[in-house]
Amino acid sequence: MRVVGLFAGIGGFEVGLENAGHETILLSELDEQAKTILDREFGSPVVGDIRRLRRLPRGTEIVAAGFPCTDLSQAGRTAGIRGEQSGLIDVVFELIEHGPRVPWVVLENVPNILRLHGGHGIRHITRRLERLGYSWAYRVVDTRAFGLPQRRQRVFVVASRERDPSCVLFASDEEPTWPADREFDRAAFGYGFYWTEGNRGVGWAREAVPTLKGGSGIGIPSAPAVWLPQRAPARAFVVPGIEDAERLQGFEPGWTRGAVDDVRGDRRRWRLVGNAVAVPVAEWIGKGLKNRALYESRPQRPFQRGKWPIAARGGPGIEPVAVDVTTWPVSELRKPLRGFLQSATPLSVGAAAGFLDRLQRSTLSVGPTEFRVALAQYCTDHGCPRIARAASAPRDAESASRLAV
């Protein structure tokens, strides 16, 4: 089918859909650096501000839009679906309403859209779709299900005027198992964590990195760190390189190379990659749109508006129901995290010491006791023993044994 990609970013949605056999006929993206990548990688026209796009092309069969999460994410402004950036989703609906008949719509955003302001964002989207004559389904999907060691959950909405979109999102389901002990040597696990999130959060993940993001708690896009316990203490803490990040999102390494030419290039590339749609998830949806497997009905139940579940379906004149599925629609062959860290560099001693200092001054408890001890030893080995001695001891017996996953 012919795809129009809106808020295309660096093309994650479109690469995945093309991998599934669809054709991109038009892209819209405001960011000039992202447009550089789209111009280079796609043979389709690329337009800028979506508000200047007057009409969808004739023959459009899929509209795909990973619309801005700026006003919806927990780390954002939380203005909601009416915010200046996230509210641009209404432009998508206006293009659909006043353009050619589009059979399929696919949207992506952060799970906080289900919770913020009592789920006003997802309610707004589903009501607009119903007024346009679409049946809809949504599901929170975890990127780890697709073999990528990144704990990234996103809401995908699929809507159709022709078929039940449940056949795309709910045709398969797996039990979340990441990582299964039998698949990896536990001693070779890596542990990803944010070191830039202040005193309120850490974002700890076992055998994965936490969600790659376009920004951080201190306002800059930056990589998470990874603890590799199997390495010598002086080499146990690393930061993924930008090409590692591209792999963790399912892109070919070097996908964003050449888009930025200033001294802050890697930081800007992190922003582009962190804001992207993970390619394998988009490909899975693309295959569902193409194959349209029969939907085996799964348990479903009514739910109270304002308490939106992780998966639901509805349509014009149909009361929405929750669908009992997990965030793992598939379970792809997993590769160890360390296999994705091909351009990683050591975590700077300043970053390590700063994180240890925050652990000491806050109530944060991160991972097993060995993590704090290893980080303190890392600081000592790199010439910062004072902060290491102050922060290496667990705060109490409870924090010594607690494991944040």
Q: Is 167 a catalytic residue?
A: no
Same domain, 298 and 206: no
Q: Where are the alpha helices (DSSP H) in 71-205?
A: 89-97, 120-131, 166-169
Q: Please check whether residue 181 lies inside any domain of the structure.
A: no
Same domain, 269 and 280: no
Q: Please check whether residue 329 lies inside any domain of the structure.
A: no
The answer to which of 39-48, 287-296, 332-341 has the lowest mean pLDDT is 287-296
User: pTM for the whole thing?
Assistant: 0.91
CATH number reported for the structural domain that contains residue 90 in this entry: 3.40.50.150
Same domain, 139 and 200: no
Work out the widest C-alpha separation in the chain, in whole angstroms.
67
Q: Please check whether residue 66 lies inside any domain of the structure.
A: yes
What length does the chain have?
405
Cis bond before residue 179 (omega within 30° of 0): yes
pLDDT tens-digit profile of 244-259?
Answer: 999 999 999 999 998 8
Cα Rg of the chain, angstroms: 22
Same domain, 243 and 390: yes
Same domain, 300 and 369: no
Which amino acid is residue 317, in one-letter code?
G
Q: Is the pLDDT of residue 133 over 80?
A: yes
Average pLDDT over residues 113-127: 94
pLDDT classification of 359: cutoffs 50, 70, 90: confident
Q: What is the pLDDT of residue 79?
A: 81
Chain position carrying tokens 């056999």? 21
Same domain, 215 and 310: no
- CB environment 41-53: b (16+ within 10 A), e (fewer): bbebebbeebeeb
Same domain, 248 and 118: no
Same domain, 151 and 236: no
Same domain, 195 and 86: no
Same domain, 198 and 134: no
Phi/psi at 284 (5° precision): -60, -45
Domain membership of residue 201 as a residue range: 186-275+336-401
Q: Please check whether residue 268 lies inside any domain of the structure.
A: yes
Residues 282 and 8: their CA atoms lie apart, in Å, by 12
Residues 19 and 107: their CA atoms lie apart, in Å, by 18
Same domain, 50 and 20: yes
Q: Please check whether residue 105 lies inside any domain of the structure.
A: yes
DSSP string for residues in 138-168: EEEEEGGGGT--EE-EEEEEEEESSS-THHH
Same domain, 111 and 215: no
Total structural domains in the chain? Answer: 2
Q: Is the pLDDT of residue 187 over 50?
A: yes
pLDDT tens-digit profile of 4-48?
Answer: 999 999 999 999 999 999 999 999 999 999 999 999 999 999 999
Residues 294 and 329: their CA atoms lie apart, in Å, by 15
Q: Is the pLDDT of residue 360 over 50?
A: yes
